Structure 1
């Protein structure tokens, strides 16, 4: 699992952010305020999430989402420290060790040059912004690499919003740096699994997901104006 990654981090300016009416906004260098990528893609699952909350009850739903969010944040931070080579200062909780080890081993085997870790991105064309988990060579191809966690393996049709999110980040990174990112990679740590679940999308698929993001962005604009 021990590996020193080839860090060639791009100069990506940190963007101030704030929440307005439950929506995250980022301030760009020219003073524009753009909704986060996840705010835009969140429209895809809004109905299903609302129905689920009604079905299980608000108290249970809040407990589940809070626990899942905390777990996801912890694993994200561990992956970030691992890639940046700063694990010496980090303690891995026993409850996270199995999942993190599986993800770290996978990253050690597949990741080459690293161009961004938790990097801030925005696009004036997409009128959106966000923070990408990682931009790196994955099996030799420059990719958006997104870290996720789950209690059980995911079906692809459940996580279309992940791919739309990653497609937006790939466009933003190209706009900010000039480097084309032809591949999207989703690495999901799954409870009880010795290897993460991985989904890979090529350029053609990326372009289709980008079109979906543009449609969602327009939908968000119309809802905001209304």
Structure 2
């Protein structure tokens, strides 16, 4: 198997770790300035949260399996991009990584991996999978494992998540993100590579933010008050 050597470039501004808080209302991050912001995944998945929660409650074993699958795939990609051994993978995860590797090998000049990002303008925070060049263009890159091939029209939340990170990176680093990239490797053998312009998803991201803040105004006030102590 071809093993690529990835170059790494330090980001323009050092990234500090963020404290996280898990609650019944999702994950929150304590950003600089003692601001408690909801996570990107919490906000972008808010409209479908009840559907996903019901599915997890009905299918606890499968929910755990897919969570472990995702964590394992992310760790393998991170190790590979850090020029480290990916370790021994179970057959299913090994197949998923092998398929995804074709997209990962198009990455270089890595700026950040599993890094916390935030935006005071969006009032949002999260951990980005990867900020690097993809086919020579600075990109937000997300790694996804799936049971089956995805319909692009059903995963706009993936693109909105990556768009949020592109806005955060610009705010924190002063660098424009040229594109967002979502790599999806599926158990049915599908290998999907989506390359998008983040500007396309700004209106939908705004809709998600407006809805979340409208329905959680009191919660956000409480969180900000908690962060003062």
Q: TM-score range by the shorter chain?
A: 0.7 to 0.9
| CA offset digits 1:113-160 (Å, max 9, x no partner) | 211110110111111110000011111221110000111101112211
Unaligned runs of 5+ in 1: none
Of 178, 184, 191, 2:180 maps to: 184
What are the residue-to-residue correspondences of 1:205-224 with 2, within 5 Å?
A: 205-222=200-217, 224=219
Distance 1:139-1:22 versus aligned 2 partners, 3 A rule: same
Cα distance in 2 between the residues matched to 1:184 and 1:209: 15
2:206 pairs with 1:202? no
Distance 1:214-1:50 versus aligned 2 partners, 3 A rule: closer
- Asked if the contact 1:182–1:206 (Cα under 8 Å) also holds between the matched residues in 2, the reply is no
- Which 10-residue stretch deviates more, 70-79 or 37-46? 37-46
2:98 pairs with 1:101? yes
Report the equivalent of 1:12: 15
Unaligned runs of 5+ in 2: 222-229
- Asked if the contact 2:103–2:193 (Cα under 8 Å) also holds between the matched residues in 1, the reply is no
Distance 1:52-1:23 versus aligned 2 partners, 3 A rule: closer
Report the equivalent of 2:150: 154
- Asked if the contact 2:166–2:198 (Cα under 8 Å) also holds between the matched residues in 1, the reply is no
Of 59, 62, 67, 1:61 maps to: 59
- Which 10-residue stretch deviates more, 35-44 or 128-137? 35-44
Report the equivalent of 1:76: 74
- Which 10-residue stretch deviates more, 207-216 or 11-20? 207-216
TM-score, length of structure 1 as denominator length? 0.87
- Asked if the contact 2:44–2:205 (Cα under 8 Å) also holds between the matched residues in 1, the reply is no
2:139 pairs with 1:143? yes
- Asked if the contact 2:162–2:198 (Cα under 8 Å) also holds between the matched residues in 1, the reply is no
- Asked if the contact 2:92–2:187 (Cα under 8 Å) also holds between the matched residues in 1, the reply is no
- Asked if the contact 1:25–1:33 (Cα under 8 Å) also holds between the matched residues in 2, the reply is yes
2:85 pairs with 1:87? yes
SS of equivalent residue, structure 1 residue 85: coil
Cα distance in 2 between the residues matched to 1:17 and 1:50: 21
